[in-house]
Chain A
């Protein structure tokens, strides 16, 4: 089987933190699969995706992304970085720049270092940026400044930037948590559809079970840095979801106090 992600026994503690953000996490993702990471805030979803994107240092375990090993001590080589695309929760766009420039920024890893630093995108870079804009339904916004756009429009720009990068693995961190339900459905349709059209693997995190069920093939439940279930979408039980979001119950009079 052709695996996009293969991780085994990953553990990580944020610098200065006491609790582990990831604890003995193992996961595989087949090429072309769509996986939802489901779980409450602080479950370790962002940490896991940041690690897969090669932006985390000092973890333990083994991780292969798109067939190449990740190094816990060094960032991945530049040539491999664009293969993994990341859609950030807060969009992470350059606000005063135009939509087109932001999408072209997704091409920076595919250009030579000289082209990237001195801003001379090739015809092909423009072509890919334009088609990513069209796929995201925002071709008419190309010349607008990002700081004049709505939240839904910004998320489309962020996805267009990711698509322009031509990734084979797309990691999307809470891509719809800032959007209303109608907008959220639109964005996830767009993201998973564009990934399927390109044969790319998608891993997106969410804390909304209904959206996860609708847009993923597989659902991975996370809580307190651990994977608590990993099931095909049809096998997801209400009980498992309820257990995932259960409040930590502290017996009265035990002398313990809840810590958020």
Chain B
């Protein structure tokens, strides 16, 4: 009891310390904090009514984001098939799957926007760095999912087909693939949804897509136009979500 009381005191002290440290060392002037409310209200006021004349830019930007998500996902699938096999406990030895899994965890740990910034630096502005960034970032998760799909395949039906005289190709086709396919389809659709959502903001760092217009309009104080693009992004996210729910119902 005593040590537990001491423990919770230490946690409390640590949290209070962290809050005090943040409050005292961030130079927030009280006057600015007090006037922030009206300023935010004023800012939001300048966003209405949203400017509908930017429909063209919205369509162009959305189409580019969609293309980045599709091609980036395709790249992630391309890398995830071999890496998924190499990260599988049942297909390769621990000497191989452990480092591959660590590599995938490291890739997952880097946020997409950071990968995108690095790629913009490497290959220049436009959708190409966005596509590469999505492909790399998504592989960290998708290859892990594929490895889990491979490892979840039950061995007994494979032995049963072997006993019936099915060759290796027939066993892959009729015992292994039917067990993996629904999992692979579900995980790939899930990752595509994430890719589409996350690539909406890639334009902010110059990696193509609709985010570019938000950044441009905010920087040039055209808040009504920025509002239209933001509304379009919200509409897209809701649409993606609805389509994904429908797809999941179809595959589940």
Contacts and interface: CB of A to CB of B under 8 A. Distances in A.
Contacts of A96: 178-179, 181-182
Interface stretch (B16-24, B104-112, B154-162, B219-227): B154-162
A81 B162 CA distance: 8
B56 to A, nearest CB: 46
Interface stretch (A22-30, A33-41, A86-94, A225-233): A86-94
Nearest to A81: B165
B11 interface: no
B166 A86 contact: no
Interface string B133-167: 00000000000000000000010110111111111
A243 interface: no
Contacts of A117: 167, 169-170, 173
Of B160, B167, B174, B179, chain A has the most CB atoms within 10 Å of the CB of B160
Q: Is the interface of A mostly helix, strand, loop or mixed?
A: loop
B61 to A, nearest CB: 40
Contacts of A205: none
A128 to B, nearest CB: 13
Given A88-B156, A92-B160, A105 B173 contact: no
Contacts of A168: none
A109 B165 contact: yes
A53 B163 contact: yes
Given A94-B179, A95-B154, A96-B182, A110 B165 contact: yes
Contacts of A110: 165
Interface residues on A, range: 35 or more
A116 B178 CA distance: 15
B175 interface: yes
A94 B166 CA distance: 14
B160 A108 contact: no
A110 B173 CA distance: 16
Contacts of A75: 162
Of A78, A94, A106, A110, chain B has the most CB atoms within 10 Å of the CB of A94
A97 B178 contact: yes
Given A94-B174, A105-B174, A119-B173, A161 B160 contact: yes
Given A94-B175, A96-B182, A117-B170, A108 B164 contact: yes
Interface in A92-145: 92-97, 101, 105-110, 113, 116-119
Given A92-B159, A94-B178, A82 B173 contact: no
8 smallest CB-CB distances across A and B, nearest first, come from: A109-B165, A81-B165, A92-B156, A108-B166, A92-B160, A116-B170, A117-B169, A86-B163
24 contacts: A55-B162, A78-B165, A78-B167, A81-B162, A85-B164, A86-B160, A90-B156, A92-B159, A92-B160, A94-B174, A94-B175, A95-B154, A95-B157, A105-B161, A105-B164, A108-B166, A108-B170, A109-B166, A110-B165, A116-B169, A116-B173, A117-B169, A117-B170, A118-B173
Given A92-B156, A113-B169, 13 more contacts: A54-B163, A55-B162, A78-B165, A81-B164, A85-B163, A88-B156, A90-B156, A97-B174, A101-B178, A109-B164, A109-B166, A116-B166, A165-B164
